[in-house]
Amino acid sequence: MGFRSRIIRPFANKIARDIQRWSTYAVQEQEQIFNRLIEVGKTTAFGKAHGFAQIRSYQDYIERVPIRDYEGIKPYIERIKAGEQDVLWRGKPAYFAKTSGTTSGVKYIPISKDSIPNHFGSARNALFNYFAQTGNGTWLDGKLIFLSGSPELGETAGIPTGRLSGISNHMIPAWLRTNQMPSYKTNCIEDWETKLDNIVTETLGQNMSLISGIPPWVQMYYERLLERSGKKRVLDIFPNFSVFVYGGVNYEPYRAKLEELVGASIPSVETYPASEGFIAFQDSQSEPGLLLNSASGIFFEFVPAEEIFNENPTRLWLKDVEPGVNYALIINNNAGLWGYNLGDTVQFVSTNPHRLVVSGRIKHFISAFGEHVIGKEVEEAMLQVCKEQGVKVVEFTVAPQVNPPAGGLPYHEWLVEFDEVPENLSAFAARLDELMIVQNIYYQDLIEGNILKPLVITPLRRDAFREYMKSQGKLGGQNKVPRLANDRVIADGMMGFHLG
């Protein structure tokens, strides 16, 4: 164990004890957070409009504050952007996390001075807890790389604005910056291919001990390392690589390939961050699920997923949840998000302590690479290109192709049943890709950064979807083919229906 890990170990042990304490008393912690949120919320424009001064209980709260998505809080965000203070939370936000929207285009998610510890202390706590539990702190003595977006920030009404990963870069403590890679200059490069080459140049020959990032980005980093070095395993390049930290997408589709590239199964720590808050993190190397971050400024609500679109859905807080139930996740936090529908669904695998797994999204989506593509985006893009080119489409579905059979970059595969296949299918696909880029900034980043190649259309024969649904026993009634899937179950099931 090196100097830095020896110094940090007592602090890591304290963090682990704290986590053990608050996770044991998670319901009481949530009750205290609820009361603090309401107390501060009374002074805000939102709180005054929703009668926070009369709230005495959680039941009072749900009677006054409806569940809402970004559209619901957007008018308040616009007031903040116009320069008003004390709108959703006291003062003005310390940052806006800029993220891809649905019907609203780009979303501006407030991060307050009070919510900064939730966003930027939770990842540290997860790693220090791992150190305390396993005794593995050698990663603190080597180099650490965080594969993320550019840390360069813009401004919105004087409020620093950027992607959450970029904001996070500014929160790394000074004592850790000497170990952090890549360099700030390299991290600011927008083009992923160029950035990746620079990262490889900077890290080859370094004592890399911790690697963190979204799995598909990390996979590309590994492959480029091996290509440049001529080595067969990442562990031949970084023999002291001992911890992999990830989040944002499902790791399982990538696990086998990443372990093959590394040359072993490296201990990992999973996190569940979102622009709206740091929701949960892996607290155990032996127990399933992620520990709900129940003592970090967020009061969580849970709605049975099948009720989320009801006018008056059942709303529960932590003391009422049950294992195995699919809940839509609702957050209330100390940045001024009130009754905010995060869009995720979760299931608890344990309530002592409260550990959960992310079970999906409320609506069908694709986020195999962190792009968060939703049904509305693909439907509007398809409708527009069909209108422009006079093409009729019977049915279609979209799935990620993470590991293309022919090799090369991954892509989104659009399985389309045309009334008549366009004469110039390549032009049709190119225009469809352009429209997707316009609608989704994450998809734009992945395409422009050469992480994904442009979408691929696979034309299907006539009646393909009908025959597929019949084969699944789902023909007729209310059964529908999902527009999107985050896996290839449907796409692979339709292999026999390809045209030609």
Pairing of strands 143-146, 208-212: parallel
Helix (H) or strand (E) holding 418: strand 411-418
Options 1.10.10, 3.30.70, 1.10.1760, 3.30.300; CATH for 365-497 is 3.30.300
List of residues 6+ apart from 461 with CB closer than 8 A: 417, 497, 498, 499
pLDDT digits (tens, 9 = 90+) for 103-156: 456 899 999 999 999 998 899 999 999 999 999 999 999 999 988 878 899 999
Tell me what pLDDT residue 411 has. 97
The structure's pTM equals 0.77
Tell me what pLDDT residue 476 has. 41
Residue 89 CA to residue 414 CA, distance in Å, equals: 43
Tell me what pLDDT residue 103 has. 45
Residues 458, 416 contacting (CB under 8 angstroms): yes
Pairing of strands 143-146, 180-181: parallel
Q: Which two tokens stand for residue 290?
A: 């992620």
The CA distances from residue 252 to 247, 258, 270, 365, 406, in Å, are 11, 10, 12, 17, 21
Nearest to 283 by CA among 7, 487, 8, 26: 26
Tell me what pLDDT residue 458 has. 96
Q: To the nearest whole percent, how much of the chain has pLDDT over 90?
A: 69
The length of the chain, given as a count of residues: 500
Radius of gyration of the chain (CA): 24
Nearest to 196 by CA among 152, 145, 240: 145
Residues 80, 157 contacting (CB under 8 angstroms): yes
Nearest to 186 by CA among 195, 173, 177: 195
The domain locations on the chain are 3-116+273-361, 137-266, 365-497
Residues 142, 240 contacting (CB under 8 angstroms): yes
The ranges of the chain with pLDDT < 70 are 100-105, 249-250, 253-254, 360, 363-364, 375, 474-480, 500
Q: Kindly tell me the number of DSSP H helices and DSSP E strands found in the chain.
A: 18, 20
